[in-house]
Amino acid sequence: MTREKKMRNKIERLLFDQNWGNSQFEITEVEDPHLISAGTHDTGHWKIFVDFDKRIDKLDDILGKINVSTIDKLRGQRSYFDGKDNLDSLLYFVVGHEVGHWKHCPGHIDDREEIMSGVAEGLQRIGFDSEKVENQSQRVYNMFADILDNVMSMYRDKKKEKFQEGFLGFYAKEGSLSEYSDDFYLFVDTQVRLGIDEPLMKKFASFFRKDKDALSNVTKEILNILVEDSSLAAKIMNEQLTLQEKVDIYHRLNEKNKWHRKARDFASLLGKYIKEQDPNDNRLSHGYGGQSGKPRQQQGSKGNNKHEGCNHADDKNIRELVKRSLDKGHSVGYAPKTIALDELYKMRAERIVMDLKKREGDMYRLAVAYLQRKEITNSNFNMNNVDWQNPEVGMDEKGQLTLDFLEKLNPVFANKKGAEKGGRLPDILFIVDRSGSVIEGYDPGRGTGAYDMILRSMYSVFKYLEDNNQIQNMRFGTILFDNIPNYFSGWKTFYDMQDIKDPLLMPGDPKFNPEINFIMKKMIPKQRGFLGGTNLDLDTIVEATDDKQGNYWAIIISDGEIHNRGEAREAVQYMADKGNPISFIRVGYSMDNEFAEYVSEVGGQVYHVKDASDLSKLVLKEAKHHYA
C-alpha cells in the first residue's frame, strides 16, 4: 500500500468518525516544508482538503529534537513528545480543527462575514490603509477564527486530551521551522493559556520565542477582549481553570452576536504586531491548525496553486450562498451532512408489516394540505413551516447538485378521528445510549456498528408510519444519554422531524451535548456535579414526560452499563407511574442485569441482544407488540 493510500485511509477514518461524507474531502501528497496543511475550498459545499509531505513519517524524529534542553529540565525526560503516537494525534487535531470550523467558528457564512468586517474595521482604526487592510485582514481573521475554533474544541471534543496533544505537536512543528513572529506568538500563546490542561505547557509558546516577556501583557489584553473579564483573564494566564470556569468561557466565546466587536478589538490590538510580510511567504498560510475558512494563499498572493481562490466570492455569490444557507444543517450551502445521512437511512430502512387494530381516538385538528409554497429569500421565515420533505433539486453553474427549500403557506385543516387512519398510535420517545461502548464501530458510510443498526430500525418504523399515513398524526421525542445532563429534543410533529432526526444522525455533534448549554442551569443552582460515563438523567426524563399531553411509548436502547443506578431507577419509575409503556433493548455482552431488573419491576419489556445484527428485528417486534 502506498504512503498516500495509508495516509488517505487514516484521514478518511477520522473524517468518517466526524460523519463527514466521502465526497466532501480531498487528500493529496505534495512537497510541503510544513509536512501537512489543510483547509477548505469551494465554500458552497464546505469541502475539506488535506495536503501532506512524504516526510511526515519522520514526525516523531522531528518533534523529539524540539526544545530538548528546555523541556528536559521541566519534565525530566528527553522530550514531551517522546514515546507518543504524535502522527495519530496530529492528524486527529488537523481533522478536528477543520470540522470545528463547521461546528464552532465561523459555522455559517453570515458569521464569517461579521468577523471579517470587524477585522477590517479594527485594522482601519489603527491606521491601516485600504491596501494594507486587504492584504492583512485575512491573516487576522484566520487567527481570530482559529482561536475560537481550537479553544472550544479543546473544551468540547470527545477526545480532548488527544486534540490538545495534536495541537501542541502541530505548533511545535511550526516552531521547528523558524522562531515565532510577534503576532504568531500571541496567537499561539492565547490558545495555550485558554485551552491546554497540562500545567507545564502553559508557557509552551515561549519555547519558540527568545524575547517573549515583552509580549506577555499583550496576551492578557487579548484574553480580556475574548472573555470580557480582567480578573478571569489574569487567572487564565497562569492558573488551571475549573470546569465551571471553562463552561463560562465557552459561553463567552460562543456569543456570536459579539464576534464582530471582539474581532474589531482583536484586530486593533494584534495589528500593531504584524510586520510587513512577503505575500508569497507560505509560512503564513500554513502556520495555523489547518486552513478551514481561509484560502491556502493569503490575499495578494500569486495564484499558482490548485486551490487558488479558496473561499473567495464576489458579493453576488456570497448573497446567493446566504440565501441557500440560512440554516447550516438544511441546505447545500454548508455541508448538508444530516440531510445526506437522512436520505441514506431512508434507503436502508426495511419495508415492514405491522398489524394495527383500529381504535377510536380523540378528535384532532390536522393540516392536510397547503395551498402555496414560496421561495425563502431572507432570514425572516418560520422554521416550522419549511417543507423539509420536498426540496427543489437543481444544478448550479458548475454542474453540482443544489437543494432549495420552500416555505409552506395557507394550510387547510380538517378534523379527524384516530380510527380514520387505522388507529391513533402512541407517540414515541426514543431514549438512546450514545456512550462510547454503543457508538464504537459506528460508520454511517460503511453501514457498520450497533448504532447503525439502531438507526436502520428507527427509520424502518418511520417508513412504515409514513407509508401508512400514520406519521402525520404523531409526535416524537429524542433523548440521548451518556453524561449528565442528557439531551432532549422536545416533542416534535412530523413537520419538525428534522429536529428528531438530527440528534440521532449526529450523536456526537456538540449542539446535541447539553452539558455546555445547560450545565449552568442544572449544576450550579443545585451544586450538582457534572457526571461523565453512561447516566440516565431524571431531570431530563421528567422534562420529557411533563411536557407531554397523553402517554408515549418509551424505547430505551443501551448496553445496560448505566452508572447512576439510583437516579436511573427513579427515572424508569417516573415514566411507568405516568402510564407510559417501556421497552428496554439491551445490546452487547455485559453481564450487568441491574438496570434491566429496574425496567422489569415496573412492568417494562426487556430484551438482550448479543448480536447487533438482530437489533432491527427486535425493535420492530416491540413496535408491533405495543401498537397492536
pLDDT of residue 362: 42
The residues spanned by each domain of the chain are 58-301+310-315, 344-350+424-627, 364-416
Lowest mean pLDDT among 63-72, 312-321, 382-391, 502-511: 312-321
Average pLDDT value for residue range 23-31: 76
Q: Under a CB-based contact definition with an 8 Å cutoff, are residues 527 and 556 in contact?
A: no
Q: In this predicted model, which residue has the larger pLDDT, 473 or 331?
A: 473
Residue-level pLDDT at 529: 45
344-350+424-627, what's its fold? Rossmann fold (3.40.50)
Contact 549, 576 (CB under 8 A): no
Work out the mean pLDDT of the chain and round it to a whole number: 73
Compute the distance between CA of residue 53 and CA of residue 486 in angstroms, rounded to an integer.
42
Report d(CA 176, CA 86) in Å as an integer: 15
Closest C-alpha among 239, 240, 244, 168 to residue 208: 168
* Greatest mean pLDDT among 134-138, 339-343, 537-541, 559-563: 537-541
CA neighbor of 605 nearest in space, from 589, 625, 590, 587: 625
Query: In this structure, how many other beta carbons lie within 10 angstroms of the beta carbon of residue 69?
Result: 6
pLDDT tens for residues 490-521? 898 877 787 888 888 887 776 676 554 444 44
Average pLDDT over residues 423-442: 80
- List b or e across 249-286, with b for residues whose CB sees 16 or more CB atoms inside 10 angstroms: bbeebbebeebbbbbbbbbbbbbeebeebeeeebebbb
Long-range contacts of 394-401 (CB under 8 A, 24+ apart): 396/44, 400/44, 400/45, 401/332
Question: Helices marked H in 479-611 — which ranges?
Answer: 497-505, 514-522, 538-546, 565-577, 594-601
Per residue in 116-141, pLDDT (tens digit) is 889 999 999 999 988 888 888 889 99
Query: If you average pLDDT over residues 371-380, what whole number do you get?
Result: 64
pLDDT (mean) for 160-177: 90
